[in-house]
Every structure is written in structure tokens, then in C-alpha cells.
Structure 1
Amino acid sequence: MSAARDQLLYALRRVLRPIVRVLIRAGVRFDEFAELARGVYVETAIRDGFGFVGVPTKARVAMVTGVGKHQVDYYIENEGALPAAKPTLAHILVEVLQKWHTEPLYVGPYGIPLELEFDAPKGGRSFRNLVRLVDETVSPGIVLEELLRSGSVIHSGEKYFRAVSRYFMMPEPMSPQQIEYFGVTLTRLANTLEFNMDPKNEVKRLERFVLADRGLPQDVVPLFENYAREKANEFLIDLDNWLTPYASPVAAEGEVRVSTGLNVFLYVDPLPDERPLRSLIRDDQEGFGF
């Protein structure tokens, strides 16, 4: 078990590196992260009940997690102790673009999305009515503004708008939508890997990869990325079309709906840097390094 534990801690070190880069970029200090990690230990032990028989006690949670009992009490008694955020409009924007490319009323010959005016008579084809297909409570004006800002939709003449991408292109770096996507994607990947590692789950979820066994010459990587992007787009559009008939906004009576999907990403490992940390930092007496 020692070897497995060593691998787990080393894996965690590697996983945390890109996450910590984002945290530092966003100005999140270690003390904030440590407090959050402590609360998530408590939440996970209670909600997922590892090793517990029946309903866990506070003392048992404290023992399993290593978190002091008074701190366990704090997270249990204070509902707002763990951070939460309202969802952004990203899922609405994604679905609006999807329906613009698949709904018969909004698609022309060869599956090309039609150009739309913002408003039209009730029941007519318009951007406002397209948004209402997705969510009647959201502001169509705000949705259009976000799609224009991201570049997924452009102006066409004075009154019309054209969809130039089937996918929502994230706006500026570190935007709420991009950070939400970062969190959702990492969570889905980690949940899938953890599910497949759990011996209780005999049927594993889809998890496949392909890699260059000996790496690629640096100048070939862009060629591989372009080829992979083209093939992945074809595959994802095929899956999206398969899912379209199930996109009814109203579930049948007694029907339980499960959020599911498939993510594709290309990775490029950074070159290893084994230099000791001591060689990468300057002594304080040499002056401030800000």
C-alpha cells in the first residue's frame, strides 16, 4: 500500500500544479485554499460516507479526515462556510447555438443555420424566439450580447445575425464562464477516473486515449493538433446530432434525467524541469523580487 500511497501523493502534486497556477493568477492565497480543502474533506466524508456504517457521527468524521471536531462542527452548522456560485449563462449559450444548428425552423439547405432578426411576429423565426426554446426566463438581449462578444455570432447587415460557430467560444481569459468551464470539466474528468478506480463499479465508464509513444518533433505538434481537431469536430457533431432527439425541455412524467456527455481535449506535456527549487529563487537579502 505504501507504493500506491506514494503514487497517489505524487499524482496529487502533479494535478495541483495547474490548479495552483490558476489560483495564484486569480489572487487566491494558500490560507484560503487550505480552509477550502479542510471543508471539502468534511463535506466528502459526510456525503460519500467512506467506511461508515449507517449515519456518520461528528467524532467519526473528525477521526477519518484528521479535521478537528470543532472545525467539523463549524462546517456542519454553517451552511455558507463552503463557497458556492450561481451558474453563468454558458449552458444557455451552448444550447442556443446547438438549436440554431439543428432545429428545422432555424436551419436552411445543407444544414446551414439561417440568419435571424432579433424580433419577429409571435411564433415566427427570430433570435428572441430561438432563445425562448431554451429558456423563457433569460433575457434574449443578454444572450445575444454574450454570443457577439465571444465571436460565436456576428452581425450580418443592419438587422440580421449569423451563427459562425456551433460551439460557444469562451470570451476573455479568467472570465466567469471560463472559470466555470474549468471547474466543470476538471470535476467531470476526476469523477470519471475515480469511478473507474472504485472496485465496486464493475462496469467502467468510457475512458480512452491515444498518444505518440516516443513523442513528436516540436514542429509536427501543430499538424497533429489540426488533424485531431478536424476529426474530433466530426465525431462531436455526430454525437450532438444523436443527442438532439432527446433535447426536449420537458421530461416525461416519472422520468429521471441524468446529466451526461463526452469531453475531448488534446494535451501537450511540458518539458520536465528537475532543477532544485533552491536554484530558482533569490535570497531575501539580495532585494525584493516583486
Structure 2
Amino acid sequence: MNETLHKALSVAVMKILRPLVGVVLRHGMAYGTFAELARKVYVDKAFEQMAEAGERPSDSGVSALTGLTRKETKRLREQDELDDEASSQRYNRAIRVISGWTSDADYLDAKGSPRVLPLEGEQGSFASLVRQYSGDIPSVAMLKVLESGETVEVTAAGVRLLARAYVPVATPLDKVSILGSDVAELIATIAHNLQDGEDNPYFQRKVSNVLVHPDAVAAFQEWSNARSQALLEEYHEFLSAHEIDPDADTDVEPRYIAVGIYFSDYRPGSEES
């Protein structure tokens, strides 16, 4: 790696680490734990990259690639993977349920707004919505997830949607899971464009301005939130219309597709800037 590229990469890594380390410090993760996780990921990715390059992955080869000892490489290779599957599934299923509620005509009123749903029923109910969009999770369990996120409320008339997007409120473990999945997807998109961007670039853009008057921030945030939510709902409709049937399309390997939108309000001197 030449000196200019090494410096640019070092600066980029530092920018990524500053807000990330701020999060892990606030939640009590010591440097030793963080460093151990970094070593584990180094070893795992080195094995993956060697295999993708057509080489035979080995502890010796990975040791040479990462700078770790062969003993350390072997120990980390044999270490079990950490699993947050439960949080990821809960988050993804909640998103699918809300997206179905806001776009499927069976769950909309005459004005096209999400209607209040009866808890039970074969069609047009909260139970049928969950069954249709989240698989085999019980409707009572999904209701608990959405209530904990302050996304729905149960009234005498039925289940009412309070927010058109799911963000965990009372479930910090799920919020941390979102940090891992969403940031990883953005970095993976940029990494793809660095490596294969000329042949098949992934869309990755942002708009920003460093001279915005503070009095305009709240209005812009409200306006952009509404526009972004509407756009994401359009994306959901398209993706839902092109889903495979897992029971019928057994010979088709499904793809995971994601498009994300974020809002940032960086203040001078903040750890994110």
C-alpha cells in the first residue's frame, strides 16, 4: 500500500471509529474487548478473501496477511461467532408488518390511510397482517414488539398504528442491533463501489450544507422525514410485488435488497464531526 493511500485509509478509519467508539464507551465496552472483536473480524475476513481469490485458506496464510501469529489466528478461527439473529429477525419482521399495513389495500381505509385493525380475524385483522407479512411469529408477540417501540396502541376499536416506521424505544438491544446491521450495509455499499464500482456501481449519495440557519433545522427535519418515509414506502411496494413464493419457487435463491436513508445534524465539536 502506498503512503498516500495508507494515509487516506487511516483518516477514513478514524472517522468511522470516532462515533462508534463513543457508543461502545457509553455502554461500558473496554478497549480489550473491542480489540479482541477487531482481531476476530480480521481473521474471518482474511479467510474469506483468500477463498474468494482462489487461494487455499490456511492459518499460515491468514497470519501473513493480518500480521497476527499463527497461534492467535488458529484460536480466533476456532472461536464461536457472536449471534444477534433474534434481534435482527424481530427488527426486520416489524418493518415488514408496518410496511404491509401502510401499503396493502386490505389494511387501508377509503382515504388510503392505515386503518384501525381488529385484533383477530381471517382477513383485514392485525392477526392476518402479522401472518401475511412476518411469517410464523405469533400476532401477540408482534403486538408486544410494536407496543414496546411505541409504534401501535390497542384501543377499544382495535390496534391503531401510531408511527409509519419502527424504531425500538424500550428495547436497547434491538437499537444496538440496528447500529450493526445498518452501518455495515452502508460500509458494504461503499466498499463495493471502491472495488467493483466501474462495472456495477451501487447508488450512494447524500446532500449536505454547512451554512444552514439553526432556526430552519427543525422544519427541514420534519419535511425530509415525511418525504423520506413516502419514498421508502414506494420502494417497499415495488419489492413486495417482486417477492418469490418460498413454497413454490424452491429453485430460486432470493436476494436481500436494502435502501437506507439517514438524517444527520452535526454540531461543531461533536464527536460525530
Q: TM-score of the superposition, structure 2-length normalised?
A: 0.88
SS of the aligned residue for 1:241 comes to helix
The CA deviation string for residues 100-157 of structure 1, in whole angstroms up to 9 with x for no partner, is 222332222122223222223xx34322222111344312112111212222112232
Matching of residue 185 in structure 1 with residue 182 in structure 2: yes
State whether structure 2 residue 180 is matched by structure 1 residue 204. Answer: no
Q: Alpha carbons of 1:273 and 1:170: their partners in 2 closer, same or farther (altered >3 Å)?
A: closer
Q: Percent identity?
A: 20
Query: Which amino acid is 2:184 matched to?
Result: T
Unpaired segments of 5 or more residues in structure 1? 275-290
Q: Quote the residue 2:160 is aligned against.
A: 162
| Cα deviation 1:251-277 (Å, max 9, x = unaligned) | 624222111121111223331489xxx
Which residue is 2:265 aligned to?
268
Quote how far apart the aligned CAs of 1:232 are. Answer: 1.7
Distance 1:108 1:273 in 2: 44
Residue matched to 1:175:
172
Q: Which residue of 2 aligns with 1:241?
A: 237
CA–CA distance in structure 2, aligned partners of residues 50 and 272 of structure 1: 43
Q: Measure, in 1, the Cα distance between the counterparts of 2:220 and 2:130.
A: 37
Q: Is it true that 1:223 corresponds to 2:222 in the alignment?
A: no
Greater relative contact order (Cα < 8 A, sep 6+): 2
| Residue identity matched to 1:217 | H
Q: Distance in 1 between matches of 2:255 and 2:185?
A: 13
Aligned to 1:195: 192
Contact residue 149 and residue 171 of structure 1 kept, 8 A: yes
Given the superposition, is the C-alpha separation of residues 102 and 226 from structure 1 closer, same or farther in structure 2, using an over 3 Å criterion?
A: closer
What residue identity is the alignment partner of 1:83?
L
Report deviation, 1:201: 5.3
Alpha carbons of structure 1 residues 29 and 205: separation in structure 2 relative to 1, 3 Å: same
Q: Kindly tell me: are residues 11 and 271 of structure 1, through their superposed partners in 2, closer, same or farther at Cα, counting changes over 3 Å?
A: same
Within 1, Cα distance between the matches of 2:55 and 2:159? Answer: 57
- Which deviates the most, 129-138 or 67-76? 129-138
Residue 14 of structure 1: aligned partner: 15
Matched, 1:128 2:127: yes
Q: Is the 8 A contact 2:153 2:160 kept in 1?
A: yes
**Larger deviation: 237-246 or 28-37?**
237-246
Over aligned residues, Cα RMSD in angstroms? 2.3
Question: Aligned ranges for residues 51-66 of structure 1 at < 5 Å?
Answer: 53-66=54-67
Task: Tell me the number of residue pairs that the alignment of Structure 1 and Structure 2 aligns.
Answer: 267
- The CA distance in 1 between the partners of 2:16 and 2:105, in whole Å, is 44
Q: CA deviation at 1:199?
A: 4.9
After superposition, what is the alpha-carbon deviation per residue over 1:209-250, rounded to whole angstroms, capped at 9, x for unaligned?
2222x5212222223322322322232222222223124552
* Alpha-carbon distance change, 52 to 95 in structure 1, aligned in 2, over 3 angstroms: closer
Indicate the structure (1 or 2) with the bigger Cα radius of gyration.
1
- After superposition, residues 243-258 of structure 1 pair within 5 angstroms as 243-247=239-243, 250=246, 252-258=249-255
Q: Give the 3 Å change call, closer, same or farther, for CA 96–273 of structure 1 in structure 2.
A: closer
